[in-house]
Structure 1
Amino acid sequence: MTNRREALKVGAAGLATSMLGGYTRGAADEKTYRVGLIGCGWYGKSDLFRLIQVAPVEVVSLCDPDAKQLAHAAEMTASRQKSGKTPRTYRDYRDMLKEKDLDIVLVGTPDHWHALPMIAAVESGADVYVQKPISHDVLEGEAMVAAARKHGKVVQVGTQRKSTPHLIEAKKRIVEAGLLGKVGRVELCCYYHMRANGDPEVTTPPDYFDYNLWSGPAPLRPFDGMPHVRWWRTFMEYGSGITGDMCVHMLDTVRWMLGLGWPKKISSTGGILVQKTGKSNITDTQEAVFEYPEFDVIWSHRTWGTPPDPDYPWALFIYGEKGTLKASTMRYDFIPQGKGEKIHGDCVFEREKYPEDVTEPEIELNAAPATRLHMRNFLDNVVSRGKPVADIEEGHISTASCLLANIAMKLGRPVVYDPSKRLVVGDDEATRLLRGPYRAPWVHPAEGLG
C-alpha cells in the first residue's frame, strides 16, 4: 500500500500539473515543433532532453563554439529524439538563426551570452526558452523584454522553481491557505561550496574550441582552461556571482509565492573575506536586502563553513505570525506557532516514468520533473500565445534585482531602480553600471532601446 509520504508526492505532482496546465497535443497543436539549441553544455542539453520528453519536437539545429561538445550533443540528441536524426550543427548562433526555420530556440549558454542570442532568436521568428539569470547587466534585460514584446514572442525563463511540484504544493497548502498569517520577514540563503577557485596556468586554446567566439562581448581573459566546464561561473566577466546564480532562483520563488514585484530599495554588503587565494573574483560572502513595503527579503551566501540549518543549505524561509515555511529544491516544512499541525513535503522524482533520466550524465534528478512541467507550461503558451509562468518580464525583475544588489555592494550604498525610466534614482554612477561594457565588434542591445 502506498504510504502517506508517497501519496503526498503523487498529490504534489498532480497538483502541479493541474495548476500549470498539462501539455497535450490537440487540434490547435498537431505540428511537430522544430527546435534549435544554443549552448550545448550541461544545462543546455538537460533542458533540451526534458523538452524532448514532453513534446512533439524535432531537434534540427545545435550550436556551440566547442566542436567536441557540439558533436557529442548531436550524437546524444539523435539517440534521444524519436526520429533518430542527427541535428545540423553550427559554431555561430547567427548562422543557425539565418535559416529562419525554427519554431523554438533554447538558450543554454553562460550568462554573458543570454541577451544577444535570445533577441536574435525572437527576431528570427522563434519562441524562446532562456536560462537564468536572463542577463549579465540590467539594460540587457530591459532590451530582452522589449524584443519579446515587439515581436510578440513567448519567452520562458529557466526559473523552474515555479514549476517544482512540491513548491507548488507548499504555495497552495501553506501560503494561499493563510497558514502563515501576516508575513513579516523572508530569508533566502545558499551555503554551497560552489565557488571554483585555483590558479591554473595560462595556455593556448585547443583547435576545436573557438575561444574568441565563446568570449563574445565579454573581455578576452587569458585562456587558463576550458571555461565552459563551470570555470566561467567564478568570474564576474561572464556571470554575476553566487547572488546572480543562486539568489535569482529563491528570490523569484518568493516573489511568485507572495505576489511581489520590484523591490523599492536594494542594499548589499560582502566580498572575498575567507577564500583569498586563487583567481576567482566573485564574492565568497555576501548579504543583500530587498526592501518591500511590508517586509524585507534578505539574502545570504557563504561558499565556506557550514549552513545554520543542514536540511536547508539552499533555501527560502518565510516567517509569518502564525508559523514559518521552510522550502528548498528537495523539501518543505511548515512549523506552526503553538499547537498547530506541522506539514512536510518532499521533492517529486519520476525515475520510473522516465527511466532514461537515471543514466543521463550530470542530470539533476530532483530538477527534472520541474523542468518538464516548465517546458509543458511554455508549450501551452506557445499554443495560446499567453504569458508563461516564468515570463521574460518576471525573469527580468528577479535577475535585475540580483544585479542591482551587486551594484549596491560595489558602490557601498543602497540603490533604488526606476524601471519606467531605466535608471537608478538620484545616482548617476549607479545608473552607468546598469550597462556593462561590450567588446567590439559586439553591440550592446540597449542601443536599440527607446
Structure 2
Amino acid sequence: MTTINRRKLLQRSLVTTLSYGAGLTILANAKSARATPANEKITMAVIGCRGRGKQLMVGLASRADCQFKYLADVDSSLFEARGKTLADAQDGRKPECRQDFRTVLDDASVDAVVIATPDHWHVPAAIMACQAGKDVYVEKPLSHNCWEGRQTVEAARRNNRIVQVGTQNRSAPYNMAAKKYIEDGKLGTIHLCRVFNQKEWANFPAVPDSAPPQGLDWEMWNGPAPEHQYNAAIHKNWHHFWNYSGGDIVNDGIHQLDLARWLCGVEYPKSVYSTGARFDKEGAAETPDNQVATFEFDKLLMTFTLTLDTPYMLKSDPELRDNDIFPHWPQNATRIEIYGSEGVMFVGRMGGGWQVFERTKGRQPVVTEQMYGRFPDPNHQENFVDCIRSRELPNADVEKGHRSALLGHLANISYRLGGRKLVFDGQSEQIVDDSEAMKFYTRESYRAPYGVKA
C-alpha cells in the first residue's frame, strides 16, 4: 500500500510541477479561464476543415481568448455545416467562408492560422502565412519531403513567426515527466528505442479519373503536386500516394517518432536504412503496408515498425486517454519501448501514460515507476496561444517538427531505393555521396503558382 500511495503522490507532484514549469494550464473548460475583451482576442482562420481541422477549430474557438474570422476549404460543400459548427463554438459568431485561403492571408486583422490540409499543402500554406505576418499552427507531419521542412524553418525565423507543429505529445505533462525520469538517469544507459505504428488500413481499388464533385476546387486541392485530373481514390486516400504524402510512417507514425526522438534526446541520425513492401497489391496504394526502419544515432539505435494488416493492434481510445488506465502494451498499436540498463519504459502517445518495468520477481511483473496520461490537445493549443502572446518558441517549434519529419522522409527514400543504407550529415542536412538518393530529397518541381520559397 505504501508503494502505491508513493506513486500516486509522485504522479500528482509531477503533473503540478511540470504543468506550471512549462507554462501549461490543464483546463476542463477553456472558456472559464478568463473573459477576454473582443479587441484582445486572437483572431484566427482555419485552412482545411475536415476531420482534424474541425477538431482544432472547435477546440480553439471554445477558448475565451480566440475567435475565428475565416473558414477556408477547397470544398465549398462543407461551408454550411462547418460554419454552423464554428458559430456554435464561439457564441454565434459566424465565420466568413473562402475557397482560396490566400485571400484570407490578405486580411491584416488575422493574427494566426490553423492549417489542417493534406500533407502536400502544409509547407506551402505555412510559408505563405509566415510571409503574410501570421502565426501558424500546422498539422503533422510538417513537410511532404526533406527539403520543405528547412524552408519552413527559415520562413518562420525570417518573418519572426510562431509556428507550432501538431505533434501534441510534446505538451503532455506525463511525457514531460517521462523525459525527466530519463534525464535523471533512472532508466540507466539507453542504447535501443523501438517505435511502433500498427493498425488495419486496407488497400483500396483503383478508379478512373472523373469530374470532381460539385463544390470542390480540384485545381487548388492538387496545388503544388504534379498536374493530375480528379481521381476519387487519390482524393479520399491521399495518404498512400507519394505525390501527396509518405505513407503511414509520416502520416501517423510521426507522432511516435517525434516523441521518441524527444524522450531519447537525439537530433539527426547518422544513417538510415528501411525495407518493406506493399504486400496487399490489389489496389491503388503506392506506399508500403509493412515497413521497418533503423535510425543510427550516436550511442543509440532507434527502430520503427509499421504494419497496416494487424486489426488486433489497438490504438488508445478516448476512454483510455481520459482515465487512469494503461494500455495492454503488447497490443498497443502506437507504443514506444525504451530499453535502459535499469529497466524498460513503455510509453503510450496521446494520453497512454508510461510504465517502467524491471526484472520480474516470482515470475510477476515489477513496475518501478509509472504515470497515467491525458489527451494533450488542450495543453498544446494552450501552449500555442501563450506563445503567440509571449513570442517564445512553442513546445513543438517548427525546427523540432522538421527534424522529426526528416526521419520518416529519409526512411522512405531508403525504402524507395530498395533498402539502401543512407549516410546523413546533420550539419548540412544532406545525404552523403548519393546523388540518386538526393533526387528524392525534394520534388522535381512545384506547380506554379504553388511553389515553395522561404
TM-score (norm 2): 0.85
Structure 1 residue aligned with 2:250: 244
Partner of 1:361: none
Asked if structure 2 preserves the Cα contact closer than 8 Å seen for 1:17 and 1:373, the reply is no
Q: 2:109 aligns with which of 81, 101, 104?
A: 101
Q: Distance in 2 between matches of 1:116 and 1:214?
A: 12
Q: Distance in 2 between matches of 1:17 and 1:152?
A: 26
Q: Does 1:143 align with 2:151?
A: yes
Q: CA offset at residue 170 of structure 1?
A: 2.7
Superposition pairs of residues 10-25 of structure 1, within 5 angstroms: 14-22=16-24
The verdict on how the C-alpha distance between 1:286 and 1:126 changes in structure 2, with shifts beyond 3 A counting, is: same
Gaps of 5+ in 1: 349-366
Give yes or no for contact 2:194–2:302 (8 Å, CA) kept in 1: yes
Paired position in structure 2 for 1:85: 93
Offset of 1:195 from its aligned partner?
4.7
**1:48-447 counterparts in 2 under 5 A?**
48-82=57-91, 84-172=92-180, 174-200=181-207, 202-225=209-232, 229=236, 231-272=237-278, 274-305=279-310, 307=313, 310-329=330-349, 330-337=352-359, 341-348=367-374, 367=375, 370-411=376-417, 412-445=419-452
> 1:20, 1:373 within 8 Å by CA — same for their partners in 2?
no
Instruction: Please list the CA deviations of residues 291-343 of structure 1 after superposition, one character each: whole Å capped at 9, or x if unmatched.
Output: 11111110011111355954422111000011000111223221023666433
> What are the Cα deviations for residues 168-216 of structure 1, in whole angstroms up to 9, with x where unaligned?
33333x3234221000200001111135523345432122111121111
Superposed CA RMSD? 2.7
Write the deviation string for residues 253-280 of structure 1: whole angstroms up to 9, x where unpaired.
12211221111111111121x2111111
Alpha-carbon distance in 2 for matches of 1:225, 1:417: 37
User: Does 1 or 2 have the higher relative contact order (CA < 8 Å, sep 6+)?
Assistant: 1
Give the 3 Å change call, closer, same or farther, for CA 15–247 of structure 1 in structure 2.
farther
Amino acid at match of 1:120: M
- Return closer, same or farther for 1:205/1:26 CA change in 2, 3 Å cut-off: closer
Task: Spell out, residue by residue over 1:353-390, the C-alpha distance to the aligned partner (whole angstroms, 9 max, x if none).
Answer: xxxxxxxxxxxxxx4xx111011112222222111111
Pair 1:219–1:8, CA change in 2 (3 A): farther
> Following TM superposition, by how much is the alpha carbon of 1:76 offset from its aligned partner in structure 2, in angstroms?
0.4
For 2:207 and 2:13, locate their aligned partners in 1 and report how far apart those are by CA, in whole Å: 49
Instruction: Write the letter of the residue equivalent to 2:430.
Output: L
Deviation of 1:346 after TM superposition, in Å, equals 3.0
Percentage of pairs with the same residue: 30
User: Gaps (5+ residues) in structure 2?
Assistant: 26-32, 314-327
Number of corresponding residues: 420
Q: Please tell me whether the aligned partners of residues 37 and 48 of structure 1 are also in contact (alpha carbons under 8 angstroms).
A: yes
The aligned residue for residue 30 of structure 2 is none
Distance 2:202 2:443 in 1: 23
The secondary structure found in structure 2 opposite 1:416 is: strand
Equivalent residues of 1:54, 1:372 under 8 A apart: no
Q: Distance in 1 between matches of 2:232 and 2:371?
A: 42
